[in-house]
C-alpha cells in the first residue's frame, strides 16, 4: 500500500469550481465512505476547508487508486469527472507526504502562514479515527503532520509571513470606507471564521458590531464577547441597511444575501458606500450584489489575488527547510520499519534451524550429559547470533537509503524468507502522472 493524495484547492481551481465541490460535515463523511468502499483503498482521511477538498488515502496501486478516488469525489460532490479532472492535483508516495506536511504548516493556504488549517486537519483526523477510516498508516502520518505544523509555528516566524484572510479583507474595506473603528459592522454567522472576524474588528477599537445568525443563542454569545448586539436572521434586511461593513461566513447552501435584499438595503442608505466581505464557500453573497451602485464585494477570489501578491522573507524558506527534513526523516523511518518483518523472518528461520538441529543432536546422542548439552545449545545460539548480527544491522542501515528495498529483497531471496502479510513501503519514488491521463 502507498499514500495517494488527490484534491482541488484555490491553487488549482476558480471559486466557481470550489463552490461546486464544497462539502459540509455530512458531505465529508459521505466522501470518506465512498472512498473506503473502493477495493483499492485501505484507509482515508478527508480534509475539507473553505478553499480545499482533499482525500489522503492508503491505496494498493497508483492508477487504480487514482481512478477510484476520482470517481468517489465526483459522485459525492455531484460534479462530473470530465469537469473536475482538469482542476485536480495528485501527489503520490513521498510527494504526498510532502504535500500533507506543507498544508499542515500553512504554506499551501490562501493566507500563507495561517494556523487555522492545523485545527481543521486535527478535526479531520479525529473524525476519521472515530469512523475507523484512518488506520495505522494514516493515523501515524497525520499525527506527524500535526507535529510538523506545530514546529513550524513554534520555531520559525511563519506567523508573520502573511496576513490572514480577515486582515486582508479589512484592508480592502478600509480603502473604501475609512478606519474600521468608526464603522457600523454587521457579522453574519457565528462560526469560527465569523468569530475571528468579529474579534479582529473589536480588537481594532470598533464598538458598533451586530451579529446575525440562524441560531439566536449563538449570535448572542458572539455578540456578548465583542460588546455588540444580536439580531435574528429574519431581520437581516434592516441590519444590512444600517451596516457600513458586512462580513458574512455562514456555511449555508445558497445565498444568504440575495441581490434584491441588498438592493433594498442600499436604497435606504442615502448614497453612503457599503462593503460586503464574503468569506464563505459556497458564497453567502450573491455575486450580482457587486453590480449595485455604491456597493463593493470582497470575496475569497479577490482576497486570494491580494494574498498571492504578497512578498515574504526568510520565514517561508525556514519552514520549507523544516518540511524537507521532516519528510526525509519520515520516509527513512518508514523504510526502516518496512524491513522489520524481513529481519524478524530471518531470525525466526534461524531459530527453527537451531531448534531442529539441536533436536536431531539429542536423538543421535541421547546419553549426552545435561551440562554438555546446555553448553552446546548456548554455543550454537551464540554462533547464530553473531552470524545474524551484521546482516540484520546492516539491512536496517541500508533501508534508510532510497534504494534500500533492494537490500531487503536480496536478504529475502538469499535466505528464502516470506514475511507474510507485510507490504513493502520501500518504493517511495514519486509518480508524476497527470490525473487527466488516468481519470477518463
- Mean pLDDT to the nearest integer, 67-74: 95
Extended beta strands in 154-206, E state: 185-188
The pLDDT, as a whole number, for residue 430 is 36
* Across 3-7, 111-115, 255-259, least confident range: 111-115
What the block records as the C-alpha cell of 153 is 509555528
Contact 280/118 with Cβ under 8 angstroms? no
Q: What is the pLDDT of residue 432?
A: 37
Predicted TM-score (pTM) of the model is 0.70
Please indicate whether residue 220 or residue 388 has the higher confidence score (pLDDT): 220
Confidence at residue 426, expressed as pLDDT on a 0 to 100 scale? 34
Asked if the model's pLDDT at residue 438 lies above 60, the reply is: no
pLDDT at 343: 76
pLDDT at res. 385 = 85
User: pLDDT, tens digit, for every residue of 106-129?
Assistant: 889 887 888 889 999 999 999 999
Which residue, chain included where needed, has cell 545474524?
388
Q: Is the dihedral of CA 381, 386, 390, 391 positive or negative?
A: negative
- pLDDT, residue 405, reads 60
pLDDT of residue 421 exceeding 50, the answer is: no
Query: Does the pLDDT of residue 133 top 90, yes or no?
Result: yes
Residues in Cβ contact with 318 at an 8 Å cutoff, skipping those fewer than 6 apart: 155, 156, 157, 158
Helix (H, G, I), strand (E, B) or coil at 44: strand
Q: Look at residue 34 and tell me whether its pLDDT is greater than 70.
A: yes
Among 37-51, 322-336, 391-405, 425-439, the range of highest mean pLDDT: 37-51
> What is the sign of the dihedral through the CA atoms of 102, 11, 159 and 122?
negative
User: Is the pLDDT confidence value at 41 over 60?
Assistant: yes
Q: Per-residue pLDDT tens for 258-281?
A: 999 999 999 999 999 999 999 988
Give the E-state strand segments of 189-324 in sequence order.
Answer: 209-213, 229-232, 245-248, 274-278, 295-298
pLDDT digits (tens, 9 = 90+) for 274-306: 999 999 888 999 999 999 999 999 998 888 877
- Which range (35-44, 66-75, 342-351, 354-363) has the least confidence? 342-351
Which range has the worst mean pLDDT, 194-203, 308-317, 411-420? 308-317
Active-site residue, 50 included? yes
> In terms of pLDDT, which residue wins out, 338 or 87?
87
Mean pLDDT throughout 198-222? 94
Q: Is the model's pLDDT at 156 over the cut of 70?
A: yes
When mean pLDDT is compared across 181-195, 318-332, 378-392, the lowest value belongs to 378-392
Q: Of these residues, 31, 46, 50, 163, which one is catalytic? A: 50
Q: Which residue has the higher pLDDT, 390 or 225?
A: 225
Provide mean pLDDT across the span 192-196: 88
CA pair distance 67, 436, nearest whole angstrom: 10
**Between residues 257 and 368, the one the model is more confident about:** 257
Residue with the larger pLDDT of the pair 430 and 220: 220
If pLDDT is split at 50, 70 and 90, which confidence band does 404 have?
Answer: low
Q: What is the pLDDT of residue 232?
A: 92
Q: What is the pLDDT of residues 361-392, one digit of tens each?
A: 888 888 888 888 888 888 888 888 888 887 77
Evaluate whether 31 touches 73 at the Cβ level (below 8 Å).
Answer: yes
Percent of the chain with pLDDT over 70: 88
pLDDT for the residue numbered 424: 38
At residue 393, does pLDDT exceed 80? no
Q: What local confidence, expressed as pLDDT, does residue 1 receive? A: 58
Specify the pLDDT at position 260. 96
Confidence (pLDDT) at 328: 84
Is 364 or 407 the better-scoring residue by pLDDT? 364
Q: What is the mean pLDDT of the chain?
A: 86
Closest by CA to 314, choosing from 124, 152, 161, is: 161
pLDDT range class, residue 434, cuts 50, 70, 90: very low
pLDDT band at 422 (very low <50, low <70, confident <90, very high): very low
pLDDT in tens, 13-26: 988 899 899 998 89
Q: Which domains does the chain have, with CATH numbers?
A: 2-162+431-437 (3.30.460.30), 165-308 (3.40.50.720)
Predicted confidence (pLDDT) at residue 307 exceeds the cutoff of 60: yes
State the cell numbers at 146.
500535526
Residue 100 has a pLDDT of 96
Alpha helices for 40-109 (secondary structure H): 62-77, 81-84, 94-104
Amino acid at each position: 500500500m502507498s499514500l495517494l493524495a488527490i484534491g482541488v484547492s484555490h491553487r488549482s481551481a476558480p471559486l466557481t469550481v470550489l463552490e461546486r465541490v464544497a462539502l459540509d460535515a455530512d458531505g465529508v463523511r459521505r466522501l470518506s465512505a465512498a472512498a473506503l468502499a473502493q477495493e483499492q483503498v485501505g484507509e482515508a482521511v478527508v480534509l475539507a476547508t473553505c478553499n480545499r477538498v482533499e482525500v489522503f488515502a492508503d491505496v494498493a496501486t497508483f492508477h487504480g487508486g487514482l481512478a477510484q478516488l476520482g470517481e468517489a469525489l465526483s459522485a459525492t460532490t455531484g460534479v462530473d469527472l470530465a469537469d473536475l479532472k482538469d482542476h485536480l492535483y495528485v501527489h503520490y508516495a513521498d510527494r504526498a507526504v510532502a504535500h500533507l506536511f506543507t498544508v499542515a504548516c500553512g504554506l499551501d493556504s490562501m493566507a500563507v502562514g495561517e494556523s487555522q488549517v492545523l485545527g481543521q486537519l486535527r478535526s479531520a483526523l479525529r473524525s476519521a479515527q472515530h469512523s475507523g477510516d484512518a488506520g495505522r498508516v494514516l493515523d501515524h502520518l497525520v499525527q506527524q503532520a500535526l507535529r510538523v505544523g506545530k514546529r513550524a509555528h513554534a520555531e520559525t516566524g511563519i506567523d508573520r509571513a502573511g496576513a490572514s484572510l480577515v486582515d486582508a479583507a479589512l484592508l480592502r474595506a478600509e480603502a473604501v470606507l475609512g478606519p474600521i473603528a468608526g464603522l457600523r459592522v454587521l457579522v453574519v454567522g457565528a462560526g469560527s471564521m465569523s468569530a475571528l472576524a468579529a474579534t479582529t474588528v473589536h480588537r481594532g477599537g470598533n464598538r458598533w458590531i451586530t451579529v446575525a445568525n440562524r441560531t439566536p443563542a449563538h449570535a448572542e454569545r458572539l455578540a456578548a464577547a465583542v460588546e455588540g448586539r444580536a439580531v435574528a436572521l429574519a431581520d437581516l434586511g434592516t441590519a444590512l441597511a444600517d451596516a457600513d461593513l458586512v462580513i458574512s461566513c455562514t456555511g449555508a447552501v445558497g445565498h444568504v444575501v440575495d441581490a434584491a435584499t441588498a438592493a433594498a438595503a442600499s436604497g435606504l442608505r442615502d448614497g453612503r458606500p457599503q462593503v460586503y466581505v464574503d468569506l464563505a464557500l459556497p458564497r453567502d453573497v450573491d455575486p450580482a450584489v457587486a453590480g449595485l451602485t455604491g456597493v463593493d464585494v470582497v470575496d475569497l477570489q479577490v482576497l486570494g489575488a491580494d494574498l498571492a501578491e504578497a512578498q515574504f522573507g526568510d520565514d517561508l524558506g525556514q519552514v520549507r527547510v523544516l518540511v524537507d527534513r521532516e519528510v526525509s526523516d519520515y520516509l527513512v523511518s518508514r523504510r526502516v520499519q518496512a524491513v522489520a518483518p524481513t529481519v524478524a523472518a530471518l531470525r525466526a528461520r534461524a531459530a527453527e534451524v537451531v531448534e531442529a538441529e539441536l533436536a536431531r543432536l539429542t536423538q543421535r546422542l541421547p546419553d549426552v550429559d545435561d551440562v554438555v548439552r546446555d553448553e552446546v545449545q548456548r554455543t550454537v545460539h551464540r554462533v547464530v547470533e553473531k552470524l545474524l548480527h551484521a546482516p540484520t544491522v546492516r539491512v536496517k542501515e541500508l533501508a534508510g537509503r532510497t534504494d534500500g528495498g533492494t537490500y531487503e529483497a536480496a536478504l529475502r531471496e538469499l535466505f528464502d524468507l516470506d514475511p507474510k502479510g507485510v507490504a513493502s513501503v520501500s518504493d517511495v519514488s514519486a509518480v508524476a502522472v497527470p490525473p487527466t491521463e488516468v481519470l477518463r
